[in-house]
Structure 1
Amino acid sequence: MQNLKSNLTHAEIKLSMIEDILQMDFNEANQKNLNEVFYSFIDINEEIDSDTAEIELKNMDFFSILGMPTSFLIENIEVTFKENVFWCDYIHIYFIKDNDEFTLLFRFNTTEDNEDETNVNFGAGERLYILKNKKLSGISNTEAKRYIENFKNFYNSLSFDITRSDYTQYITFDYSKVRRNFKQFPEVTQLLTAAKNDPDSGLLRLNIILQIDRIYCKNPRTPENDVFYNIGNMQP
């Protein structure tokens, strides 16, 4: 899934927003439409409110047959982020299956869209990490490919209703958002397993939400201690 507005420059986004707003009548009946115009320009790599997070977590009931954990805990994730901060543009987080265990694969590279749903390949210079026992450790291309395909095969074996949901292989997070949104990360970082409706298709897809204490965030909107972030674009 690609957010088309993410391809616009900041100036183009502002002009488009102004144009949409000028065409509207400012009255109470159109307040909802005005809100929709505003929120359509918010990048989904951003903070969400607790009510939205609760809805996305509840949506996982649809995928309960998968048997996935409700969250993933990662120790010292900041170490891995710092190792890749100077060269990496994107972090891709894959759902993977290792035997009977579900976990996550982190793929660091400079490509926004990996385009590998049917043929998983990794380019030279990419870095891959698997989450095991709450720690991220390096993994070979061969192992990564096998785990990604294991999850896809298991997902497809459950025959989800394709008129209601779609497969999520990985979720892409813009690395610049890490630098922009966060001061640092806690000793243990929590990623919540969630599901949200794809803005393009309306189909329900697996997603990941970062839950983090506000003290680690640069400019959190919420006054609450817990801050929630939609990790990024659901792919493919």
Structure 2
Amino acid sequence: MKNLDPNMTHAEIKLSMIEDILQMDFNKAGKKNFNETFHFFLDLNDEIDRVTAVTEVNNLIFFSALGMPESFLIEDIETTFKENVFWSDYIHIYFIKDEEEITLLLRFNIAADNNDEMNIKFETNERLYILKNQKLSRISDTKAKRYIEDFKELYDSRNFNPDQSMYTQYITFDYTKVRKNFKEFPAITQLLTAAKNDPLNGLLRLNTILQIDRTYCKDPKTPDNDVFYNIGNMQP
């Protein structure tokens, strides 16, 4: 499958995808290879311009009934990254609801997508962290599962139109992009809460955007001081 020009519009991407689908031999490819191939199209782990970031942040109004915070602040995230950088390949960032608030769960493992939305399980070689009071701390599998399910219950209770939007359980960020894009992270890292259109189906989905000073980035495209990155592939 050919690579896509990052400057292509959503319409152009969809037309290219349709062309590739029509040319694909499903008997030879099989479901697993098909899913792995199309994981490429949802690769959103790269820098975006300010206009796109502002648009996606403003899109959050669609999900206002959830009461999402405008951003998540994380102290000393670099320490957690360094603790897991040599063994994990992916960071999965979940939207969760604990007893007090909507927050984030960070899941480190070696699988791009190994979570059944309806049957949440964690492997013994994974590490889970909850964001509380701007700090990341380890959390048990049992609590993590419950908090993920509680956020899904909250989302379902708001009865969003399925023709307009889609549930985002977690967002996958490729660890190689962390090493590629960033020198280090500030004392407090900010993830903006946003919503973007899924490039595969056009439905609006919750997402997060990293806002970071350019001094922490290896090769930012923008001349501005603030650099914005889409954090990951929206799942499921």
TM beyond 0.5: yes
Question: For the residues of structure 1 that align with 2:143 and 2:162, how far apart are their CA atoms?
Answer: 29
Aligned residue in 2 for 1:189? 189
Shift in Å at residue 42 of structure 1? 9.3
Counterparts of 1:44 and 1:101 in 2: how far apart (Å)?
A: 27
Equivalent-residue separation in structure 2 for 1:206 and 1:216 (angstroms): 26
Q: Which runs of 5+ in 2 are unaligned?
A: 17-40
- Tell me the residue number matched to 1:95: 95
Summarize the Cα distance change of 1:32–1:77 in structure 2 as closer, same or farther, 3 Å threshold: closer
- 1:217 corresponds in structure 2 to 217
Task: List per-residue Cα deviations over 1:68-98 (Å, max 9, x = no partner).
Answer: 1000000000000000010000000000001
For residues 131 and 32 of structure 1, the distance between their equivalents in structure 2, rounded to whole angstroms, comes to 35
Distance of 2:78 and 2:8 partners within structure 1: 39
Residues 115 and 121 of structure 2 are in contact (CA less than 8 Å); yes or no, is this contact kept in structure 1?
no
Q: Which consecutive segments of 4 or more residues in structure 1 shift more than 2 A?
A: 40-43
Amino acid at match of 2:167: Y
State the identity as a percent.
68
**Deviation of 1:164 (Å):** 0.2
Q: Give 3-state SS (helix, strand or coil) of 1:64's partner.
A: helix
Which amino acid letter does the alignment assign opposite residue 109 of structure 1?
N
Matched, 1:49 2:38: no
Task: Rate the CA distance shift 1:42–1:197 in 2: closer, same or farther, 3 A.
Answer: closer
In the alignment, which residue of structure 2 is the partner of 1:60? Answer: 60
Amino acid at match of 1:58: N
Q: Output the amino acid matched with 1:203.
A: L
Alignment of 1:147-158 (within 5 A): 147-158=147-158
Question: How many angstroms apart in 2 are the aligned matches of 1:116 and 1:187?
Answer: 34
TM-score normalized with structure 2 length = 0.84
- Correspondence 1:41-190 to 2 at 5 A: 43-190=43-190
- The TM-score with structure 1 as length reference comes to 0.84
**Partner Cα distance (1:42, 1:199) in 2:** 7
**Alpha-carbon distance between aligned partners in 2 of 1:114 and 1:153, rounded to the nearest angstrom:** 21
How far is 1:189 from its partner?
0.1
Distance 1:70 1:32, change over 3 A: closer
1:32/1:53 Cα in 2 relative to 1: closer, same or farther (>3 Å)?
closer
Q: Which amino acid aligns with 1:146?
A: R
Shift of 1:32: 7.8
Alpha-carbon separation, structure 1, partners of 2:73 and 2:197: 24
CA distance in 1, matches of 2:120, 2:55: 32
Output the amino acid matched with 2:122: F
Distance 1:114 1:42, change over 3 A: closer
The structure-2 alpha-carbon separation of the partners of 1:55 and 1:223, relative to structure 1 and needing over 3 Å to count, comes to same
SS in 2 for 1:62: helix
Q: Secondary structure at the match of 1:154?
A: helix
Aligned residues: CA RMSD? 2.0
- Structure 1: runs of 5+ lacking an equivalent: 1-7, 18-30
Structure 1 Cα separation of the partners of residues 201 and 118 of structure 2: 20
1:139-182 CA-partner distances (Å, limit 9, x unpaired): 00001001000000110011100000000000000000000000
Tell me by how many angstroms 1:115 deviates: 2.7
Structure 1 distance, partners of 2:133, 2:8, is 45
